[in-house]
Structure 1
Amino acid sequence: MSDKDFPYSGFSSLAIHAGHQQDPNYAHLTPIYATSTFVYDDAEQGMRRFSGKEQGYIYTRWGNPTFHEAEEKIAAMESFGVTDEHGDPLILKAYLQASGMAAISTLMMSTLKAGDKILSHYSLYGGTQEQMNTLLPAFGVDAVIADLRDLTIAEDMLKKHPAIKMIYIETPANPTIQCVDIEALTLLGKQYGKVIACDNTFATPYLQQPFKYGVDFVIHSTTKFLNGHGTAIGGVFMSRDVSFMKGKAYKVYKALGGSSSPFDAFLLVNGMKTLEVRMERHCSNAEKVAALLNTHSAVASVNYNGLTSHPDHAVAKKQMRHPGAMMSFELKGGLQSGISFMNKLQLCTRTVSLGTCDTLLSHPASMTHYSVPKEQRERYGITDGLIRMSVGMENIEDILSDLEQALK
């Protein structure tokens, strides 16, 4: 039995070993292949590589061994225990990118054309929202935004806009932590012949596997929980349609030039090996933080899917192993309360991004969503007093203590 065929019994074994191929020099870990190009034994081999008759590396923008391990590991995690329509283990193809936005751009450019529309929902990552609002329309692709938690509304939009080609979901969503029903939306979308794409960054493959519910594409900002240490920017997009990925998607991937770097890929590979144990601590801490915030007099409301009071609690429980480590909460007092709270933090880190070992807090109204008009922000649930929190792995007593003193 080869290493690749070993029947992993659990997620951590898979995360540590999947995707690894023995280096020709027998290095324990896959090396950082810091090379822009690759050489050939002779001209004929170069011809075979460029024609596709022989597998092998040509140019790092087109693929690199360090990228390959990261891609294979992420694909293995997203497909772990998932079967295809024939009951066979699901096979995925993934491409590592320089950022999550590069992955989304490659997805959009390879699947959409002028005249197509995207159906998506309120509360998206600011970069994704900006791409849908300002960049894609210039290429003739418009977004239809609706509350996709209501399937009646979703179906009405599909009927009203036959040009919709893709349903794009982000669940849990940024920064309101709204959850949409992946299975129900996918079934609905397939009835109308639509492509389904899901951003799984907040949940990670450990907590949620969208391919289990029939989606066509999954995207991650690997910068976040997958890397886990805030050391490198990255993104990945993958699909169950392997022929499409090796064909049109690969051409777009090469042409756009948004490939990763070998060093960033190396950091990602090693970060992913501890994903399960990190997520267990993140999630355990998050439950206790949510309990504190939910009863604090300075907090108007808490957006955390682990709370039974959250409107999307049942959906999250259905499709996630755990509600996760992300939450947001509304402070009484609006914008000034948000700024004052952020300034008082001592242990927790004031910054954008998420998924690192330390606890990160941001104030969307003055940071990530500052450029979004106030009226539009509030319609999406991003109010002046909203704080987004990525609960870290510090001792929970220290996280709670810092929050309590900052909330006074």
Structure 2
Amino acid sequence: MAKKEFPYTGFTSLAIHAGHEQDPNYAHLTPIYASSTFVYDTAEQGMRRFSKQEEGYIYSRWGNPTFTEAEKKIAAMECFGVTDAGGRPLVTKALLHASGMAAITTLFLSNLKAGDKILSHYSLYGGSQEMMDKILPGLGIEAVIVDLRDLNKAEAALKADPQIKMMYLETPANPTVQCVDIEELTKLAKQYGKIVACDNTFATPYLQQPFRFGVDFIIHSTTKFLNGHGTAVGGVFIGRDIEFMNTRAAKTYQLLGGNSNPFDAFLLINGMRTLEVRMERHCHNATEIANYLEGHAAVSKVNYTGLPSHPDFYISSKQMRHPGAIMSIELKGGLQAGVKMMDRLQLCTRTVSLGTCDTLLCHPASMTHYGVPKEQRERYGITDGLIRMSIGMENVQDILIDLEQSLKGL
């Protein structure tokens, strides 16, 4: 059995073994601890646990052994090879949530109060955008949206508004696949004393590690590549300030009730064990498909940062191991061409979400970003004719055949 102190030299070894502790009954894999509550040997032990004098589980809304392995595994992957300011291996704390949106809610409500503002950028995940537009203003928290690919604009916003408390990044962004420079933006934010949070869902810890560039918090929708099989919804909130994560963040998490459940945590653990090998295949396929689509007569634009023609090619190559498996395309025929293409698909799957083993296509304007006003969507680059593609692990030739027949004559 691998031990926690084993000096892992590779990402997959870490992904398989990190966070695992031997079950008392010697199960090979961590069991599904399907228990709402946990018992104590004595009343005194219960008191020690509630007062935090003794480590132990109390109630699954507050923590569960199956959650713990998932949390430790994700935290270990985000920190693999990353050091703190003193040159020591970075240690972080993760809280497993019922969804990515639950994780984002804990991030915002544990850090922000009425009067605070968030500085963010164009083309965010639709749920994040709607949270900033429709929920946070009612709590007295506002969002300032700026093109953060322009560092001058980012600094101007920070100078102009001292109420900005947090910089919130999503890179690559959904669904235009825009990238922002995590390192430079974090340096800038720190000059002004701001918190930096980053949604790392598209990239995963295998392709990008925002903690390496000094961010304070990372969130994921674990539903996507971390799970990898479309079997469970989940989210995670990770922070480098252990005291904050164990106090303010943990209390917010517990009181909001956004915790995961043991079965979904179990599915996530097993999905993460194969993250590296899955991402390698996803990325290989995505590169071939992006190159194919860039030269296709029906396609006016391919948003994929692995193409030298993409304006964020340099930033992506600077901070990511590989550009990833998500791209979006603009069809010359607009909305009607997009409808025809989607209807013709035979191998690829028509659905929302992303990060599963099969190739998934969706139409953001009518699906993931339906709740974002049309004018706002288009200003962010999410047009009616945009198709988002999550490239799967099928044999790439089969994906290409399906795309070719679906695009024929458009």
Q: TM-score range by the shorter chain?
A: over 0.9
CA-CA distance at 1:2 after TM superposition: 7.3
Deviations 1:63-96 (A, max 9, x none): 0000000000000000000000000000000000
**Residue 169 of structure 1 aligns to a residue in which SS?**
strand
Contact 2:101 2:128 in 1 (8 A): yes
TM-score normalized by the length of structure 2: 0.99
Equivalences for 1:350-389 in 2 at 5 Å? 350-389=350-389
**Residue 352 of structure 2 aligns to a residue in which SS?**
coil
Paired position in structure 1 for 2:35: 35
Equivalences for 1:13-162 in 2 at 5 Å? 13-162=13-162
**Residue 365 of structure 1 aligns to a residue in which SS?**
helix
User: How many angstroms apart in 1 are the aligned matches of 2:158 and 2:405?
Assistant: 48
User: How many angstroms apart in 1 are the aligned matches of 2:250 and 2:97?
Assistant: 12
Deviations 1:215-262 (A, max 9, x none): 000000000000000000000001110000001111101000000000
Letter in 1 for 2:353: S
Paired position in structure 2 for 1:164: 164
Paired position in structure 1 for 2:245: 245
Contact 2:199 2:220 in 1 (8 A): yes
Deviations 1:6-47 (A, max 9, x none): 000100000000000000010000000000000000100000
Paired position in structure 1 for 2:402: 402
CA-CA distance at 1:384 after TM superposition: 1.1
CA-CA distance at 1:369 after TM superposition: 1.4
Shifted more, 333-342 versus 260-269: the winner is 333-342
**Residue 327 of structure 2 aligns to a residue in which SS?**
strand
**Residue 403 of structure 2 aligns to a residue in which SS?**
helix
Residue 180 of structure 1 pairs with residue 184 of structure 2: no
User: How many angstroms apart in 2 are the aligned matches of 1:380 and 1:371?
Assistant: 14
> Matched residue pairs, number?
408
Paired position in structure 2 for 1:314: 314
Equivalences for 1:291-330 in 2 at 5 Å? 291-330=291-330
Deviations 1:133-188 (A, max 9, x none): 00000000000001000000000111111100000000000000000000000000
User: How many angstroms apart in 1 are the aligned matches of 2:302 and 2:251?
Assistant: 44
Letter in 1 for 2:307: L
Q: Which runs of 4+ in 1 moved over 2 A?
A: none
Equivalences for 1:257-336 in 2 at 5 Å? 257-336=257-336
CA-CA distance at 1:98 after TM superposition: 0.1
User: How many angstroms apart in 1 are the aligned matches of 2:369 and 2:6?
Assistant: 45
**Residue 366 of structure 2 aligns to a residue in which SS?**
coil
Deviations 1:247-300 (A, max 9, x none): 111110100000000000000000000000000000000001001100000000
User: How many angstroms apart in 2 are the aligned matches of 1:224 and 1:390?
Assistant: 10
User: How many angstroms apart in 2 are the aligned matches of 1:338 and 1:146?
Assistant: 29
User: How many angstroms apart in 2 are the aligned matches of 1:323 and 1:345?
Assistant: 25
CA-CA distance at 1:375 after TM superposition: 1.2
Residue identity over aligned pairs, in percent, reads 75
Letter in 1 for 2:148: L
Contact 2:97 2:236 in 1 (8 A): yes
Letter in 2 for 1:79: C
**Residue 175 of structure 1 aligns to a residue in which SS?**
coil
Residue 236 of structure 1 pairs with residue 208 of structure 2: no
Contact 2:75 2:93 in 1 (8 A): yes
Paired position in structure 1 for 2:346: 346
User: How many angstroms apart in 1 are the aligned matches of 2:254 and 2:340?
Assistant: 46
CA-CA distance at 1:371 after TM superposition: 2.4
Q: Calculate the aligned-residue CA RMSD, in Å.
A: 0.8
Paired position in structure 1 for 2:210: 210
User: How many angstroms apart in 2 are the aligned matches of 1:325 and 1:181?
Assistant: 19
Shifted more, 106-115 versus 331-340: the winner is 331-340
Contact 2:2 2:17 in 1 (8 A): no
User: How many angstroms apart in 1 are the aligned matches of 2:141 and 2:34?
Assistant: 37
**Residue 62 of structure 1 aligns to a residue in which SS?**
coil
**Residue 40 of structure 1 aligns to a residue in which SS?**
coil
User: How many angstroms apart in 2 are the aligned matches of 1:370 and 1:182?
Assistant: 28
Gaps of 5+ in 1: none
User: How many angstroms apart in 2 are the aligned matches of 1:244 and 1:66?
Assistant: 23
**Residue 55 of structure 1 aligns to a residue in which SS?**
coil
**Residue 251 of structure 1 aligns to a residue in which SS?**
helix
